[in-house]
């Protein structure tokens, strides 16, 4: 992506955000619709210098407006963030990518045309599946950039523009999502987080921002996602299907060198229920990388089998522990290995990942301390997410947290981010 | 709504000290349980919860609670739709209560459209940061304690209850006052393991709603932490004919009209 000129007057934007905050507080309560939202300020920095990125990892003011109106047969919702992001290179608005000073989170209408059907149309946040921060059958867009710099975890979910139709029958429930124009992840591209660049074969950042060729032909580059689910007693069972593209670049156009999003088809299943005084879950997915069905194309990611087991339990009062084991198994490993390009690190056939989440609530649940650890024994890397959040009042919360990466190699999933260790503080006022 | 305060259980037959005319203790407890948590076939209330800590700082939660019974004294469903404060607005907490075994619980986080399953192991954990426990909101299984009628006055049955499994609870026993007319428990005093009173749950105000006696204000006092929580119930209605499908994933993702208004 080409660099854009910095907005010369970001201060104006900050002033607008503050003004909006004040205005909304006085207006609240006298409107024909519900108005809510929050104002948030955050600052974060890298622990050590990153040769390719700025020392400041987060410096932003955010003002969210959440407007909704409910009718008997429909509901309308608009939720948008006005954002002053000092670290961004540009304030130019790209609604699709959430760039610029407006991040449109939701703009949708939900209809209830019949007893059996709900329809949600427009920009919406979509989530399904059973993993905790691990997604197999949830192929809706993620914002990894926000996740790694300390924005609220809700920003890990980027919005989708599409149509969700849900059917509720006695026997089964069906969710169908149609996204007419591919919504990719807001992936790590080097703009604000340095990453392993396979072409340069080194950790890169603003010196080599990923230039991607995103499928973007309306009604041609569509995505379709399906979930069929049912509860048997209290066990939640689901089957999933997806037809679309790898959500982050997982290939390269060998002619022009652009990062590409090859086609992807997924089928999967999940189960979740009470077990051993806690919650157990299992999820699986078969990732069929149809642009490389034999596995011999070194420019396109191989097909994979993905599996996840998880268990969560309240160990002691106000202390919850969650563990997960996740596997990415490459399906045509020998073909992949025999066709790999010289100089590019060869991946393992199996990527094993363990996660641990510890959550401690204290002071009448006004203080929440949590630590999330991702650790891959096969990649030999680790990612720690410590976080503490204190609700000073019902409206005001302060937060302190960090993102710490460590790895034995520069090219593994978390190992590539070792120069991005950061800490942040935030304050949020809700209304 | 099915109120809140209550604890009971009775299984042990009264001791011979009592007169033959007195009802068996398990009958008293069963009636108290039904009066507190199973009034009508279903119910709805708007709840305002005020938590005041030792320093006098207040936190206020507002939510709509819907309840539907499968069988009186048996399985039931709860749906709690949060309205305030703003950080939990539109969040939904749903319980499928199964007396005698683990409940099923879900939490819906609207900003991520996330339906989260939460473990049910410790029912004596604070509900929404208040001095009420989950168990106070949806009821403690009546088979978990041994009850004994220790006194009978003109107005109350006074019971002393001891948990059958001491390991799973923070109290050693509790004393409970059950109103003879309404069958509602109006006060419960909890003793800790050193025999000291550390927690009281009281009904402050009882009214008839659709001819059903209903607690409309209740209070928990925690003498150890100095924290007090008051619950006020408004817009109470029984027998609305709530559909069972309200208590499913569909309505976690989009709250039914009855919960929003």
pLDDT tens-digit readout, B119-158: 876 778 888 889 998 888 878 888 889 999 999 999 999 9
More confident residue, B198 or A96: B198
Q: Are B159 and B149 in contact (CB under 8 A)?
A: yes
* pLDDT of A149: 95
Using CB atoms, pick whichever of A37, A118, A277 lies closest to residue B102: A277
* pLDDT of B65: 96
Which residues from A are below 8 Å from B102, CB to CB? Answer: 274, 277
Q: Are A362 and A349 in contact (CB under 8 A)?
A: no
- Whole-angstrom CA distances from B230 to B61, B183, B186 are 11, 21, 14
Asked if B112's CB is within 8 angstroms of A154's CB, the reply is: yes
Compute the Cα dihedral for A146, A151, A155, A156 and give only its sign: positive
- Contact of B96 with chain A, judged by CB distance below 8 Å, is answered with yes
Per-domain boundaries in chain B? 2-260
Which residues from B are below 8 Å from A36, CB to CB? Answer: 86, 89
Hey, is A104 helix, strand or coil? strand
Which residues from A are below 8 Å from B85, CB to CB? Answer: 394-395, 430
- Under 8 Å CB pairs connecting chains A and B tally to 104
Instruction: Please calculate the CA angle B246-B247-B248 and round it to the nearest 5 degrees.
Output: 95
Question: Could you tell me the two tokens for A428?
Answer: 């949020």
- Indicate the pTM of the whole model: 0.89
Q: Divide the 431 residues of chain A into consecutive groups of 10 and give the mean pLDDT of each group.
A: 43 62 56 86 93 92 92 89 86 76 93 91 96 97 95 94 96 97 94 90 90 93 97 94 96 90 97 93 97 89 97 91 97 92 89 97 93 97 97 96 96 95 96 91
Cβ partners under 8 Å of residue A52, min gap 6: A190, A194, A203, A204, A205, A206, A207, A419
- Contact of A25 with chain B, judged by CB distance below 8 Å, is answered with no
- Contact of B59 with chain A, judged by CB distance below 8 Å, is answered with yes
pLDDT of B14 higher than 50: no
Which residues from A are below 8 Å from B243, CB to CB? Answer: none
- Contact of A100 with chain B, judged by CB distance below 8 Å, is answered with no
CATH number (1.20.190.20, 2.50.20.10, 3.30.450.20, 3.40.50.970) of B2-260 reads 2.50.20.10
Q: Which among A282, A278, A274, A280 has a CA at the least distance from the CA of A313?
A: A278
> How many CA atoms, within 13 angstroms, populate the side-chain half-sphere of residue A204?
16
The pLDDT tens digits of the residues spanning B222-236 come to: 999 999 999 999 999
Hey, is B154 helix, strand or coil? coil
ipTM at complex level? 0.89
- Contact of A281 with chain B, judged by CB distance below 8 Å, is answered with yes
More confident residue, B148 or B100: B148
Asked if B227's CB is within 8 angstroms of A314's CB, the reply is: no
């Amino acid at each position: 992506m080409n660099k854009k000129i910095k907005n010369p007057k970001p201060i104006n934007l900050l002033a607008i955000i503050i003004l909006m905050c004040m205005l909304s507080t006085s207006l609240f309560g006298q409107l024909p619709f519900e108005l809510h939202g929050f104002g948030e300020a955050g600052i974060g920095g890298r622990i050590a210098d990153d040769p390719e990125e700025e020392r400041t990892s987060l410096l932003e003011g955010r003002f969210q407006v959440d407007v909704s109106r409910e009718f008997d047969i429909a509901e309308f919702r608009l939720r948008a963030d006005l954002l002053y992001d000092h670290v961004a290179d540009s304030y130019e608005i790209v609604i699709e990518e959430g760039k610029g000073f407006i991040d449109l989170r939701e703009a949708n209408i939900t209809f209830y045309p019949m007893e059996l059907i709900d329809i949600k149309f427009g920009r919406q946040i979509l989530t399904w599946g059973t993993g905790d921060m691990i997604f197999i059958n949830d192929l809706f867009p993620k914002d990894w950039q926000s996740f790694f710099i300390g924005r609220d975890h809700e920003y890990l979910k980027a919005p989708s523009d599409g149509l969700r139709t849900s059917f509720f029958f006695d026997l089964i429930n069906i969710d169908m999502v149609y996204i007419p124009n591919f919504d990719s992840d807001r992936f790590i591209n080097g703009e604000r987080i340095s990453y392993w660049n396979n072409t340069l074969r080194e950790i890169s950042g603003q010196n080599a921002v990923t230039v991607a060729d995103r499928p973007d032909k309306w009604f041609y580059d569509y995505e379709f996602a399906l979930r069929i689910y049912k509860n048997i007693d209290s066990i939640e069972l689901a089957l999933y299907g997806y037809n679309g593209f790898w959500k982050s670049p997982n290939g390269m156009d060998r002619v022009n060198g652009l990062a590409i999003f090859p086609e992807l088809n997924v089928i999967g299943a999940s189960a979740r229920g009470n077990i051993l005084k806690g919650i157990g879950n299992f999820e699986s997915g078969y990732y069929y990388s149809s642009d490389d069905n034999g596995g011999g194309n070194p420019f396109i990611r191989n097909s994979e089998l993905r599996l996840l087991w998880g268990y969560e339990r309240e160990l002691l009062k106000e202390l919850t522990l969650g563990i997960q084991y996740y596997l990415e198994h490459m399906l045509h490993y020998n073909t992949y290995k025999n066709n790999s390009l010289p100089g590019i690190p060869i991946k393992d056939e199996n990527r094993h990942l363990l996660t641990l989440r510890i959550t401690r609530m204290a002071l009448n649940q006004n203080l929440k301390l949590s630590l999330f650890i991702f650790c891959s024994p096969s990649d030999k890397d680790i990612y720690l997410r410590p976080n503490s959040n204190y609700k000073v009042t019902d409206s005001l919360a302060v937060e302190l947290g960090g993102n710490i990466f460590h790895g034995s190699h520069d090219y593994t999933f978390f190992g590539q981010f070792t120069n991005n260790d950061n800490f942040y503080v935030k304050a949020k006022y809700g209304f | 709504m099915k109120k809140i305060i209550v604890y009971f259980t009775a299984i042990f037959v009264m001791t011979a000290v009592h007169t033959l005319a007195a009802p068996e203790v398990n009958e008293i407890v069963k009636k108290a349980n039904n009066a507190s948590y199973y009034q009508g076939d279903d119910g709805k209330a708007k709840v305002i919860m005020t938590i005041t800590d030792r320093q006098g700082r207040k936190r206020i939660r507002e939510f709509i609670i819907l309840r539907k019974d499968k069988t009186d004294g048996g399985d039931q469903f709860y749906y709690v739709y949060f309205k305030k404060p703003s950080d939990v607005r539109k969040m939904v907490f749903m319980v499928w209560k199964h007396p005698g075994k683990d409940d099923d619980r879900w939490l819906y986080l609207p900003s991520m459209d996330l339906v989260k399953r939460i473990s049910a192991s410790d029912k004596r954990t604070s509900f929404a940061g208040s001095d009420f426990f989950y168990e106070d909101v949806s009821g403690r299984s009546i088979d978990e304690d041994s009850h004994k009628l220790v006194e009978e006055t003109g107005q109350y049955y006074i019971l002393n209850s001891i948990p059958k499994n001491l390991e799973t609870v923070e109290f050693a026993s509790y004393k409970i006052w059950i109103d003879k007319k309404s069958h509602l428990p109006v006060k419960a005093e909890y003793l800790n393991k050193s025999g000291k009173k550390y927690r009281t749950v009281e009904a402050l105000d009882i009214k008839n709603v659709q001819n059903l006696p209903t607690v409309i204000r209740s209070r928990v006092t925690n003498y150890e932490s100095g924290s007090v929580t008051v619950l006020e119930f408004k817009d109470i209605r029984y027998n609305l004919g709530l559909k069972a499908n309200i208590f499913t994933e569909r309505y976690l993702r989009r709250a039914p009209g009855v919960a929003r208004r």
